[in-house]
Amino acid sequence: MNYYSSQITRLIEELSRLPGIGSKSAQRLAFHIINMPEEQVEGLASSITEAKRNVRYCKECFTLTDQEKCPICQSEKRNHKVIMVVEDTRDLAAYEKTGKFDGVYHVLHGAISPMLGIGPGDIKLKELMQRLQGDVEEVIIATNSSLEGETTAMYISKLIKPTGIRVTRIASGVPVGGDLEYIDEVTLLRALEGRVEL
């Protein structure tokens, strides 16, 4: 039995299709939207429509942008000789928040996962290799520490090594504030291997 009118039910159903939004969150959002002033609702709806219509891949690094090239690729202050390879745009944003990386990025839009049927041709690897035809000194592989991320990192490393371009992998290990007793063995081993001089 439906508790709400068909339009409210439809709004809840549409919102619950979003990742991380369960039925209770969708219901809460639906009622919030219904109680918002009409101009705010129209602004929200138009921003969603315009983003869907205008956002595309940067022609150089393949992050999401509403221009031909993203602001990072356009910037002359960035070191275009160092490319950090990440799995998705959220990873790029995480590194940008540190404010410490002055190179450019390459977004793969996924990782190699034979279990899920995702091969090297399904992510932006060919485009990365094309970029390496230019003046590139180092490729930093910053894929996740998952099995898929590690597989992707190894595959990229094997592709790039013959070109003579320096290939590095981000260190991974113990998170700040983490208790050693609760951290798995692989992470502890990585922390040990990636140790630096003090």
Lowest-confidence range among 44-53, 87-96, 110-119, 179-188? 179-188
Res. 172: pLDDT tops 80: no
Length of the chain: 198
* Higher pLDDT among residues 2 and 87, named by residue: 87
Q: Are 133 and 104 in contact (CB under 8 A)?
A: no
pLDDT of residue 42: 95
Top pLDDT among 198 and 72 is at 72
Q: Say if CB 22 and CB 12 are below 8 A apart.
A: no
Residue 1: pLDDT band with limits 50, 70, 90: very low
* Chain mean pLDDT for the chain: 88
pLDDT of residue 83: 95
* Helices (H), ranges, the chain: 6-16, 23-35, 38-54, 71-74, 89-98, 125-131, 147-160, 185-193
- The 10s digit of each residue's pLDDT in 13-55 is 999 999 999 989 999 999 999 999 999 999 999 999 999 999 9
Sheet of 79-86, strand order: 103-107, 79-86, 138-141, 166-169
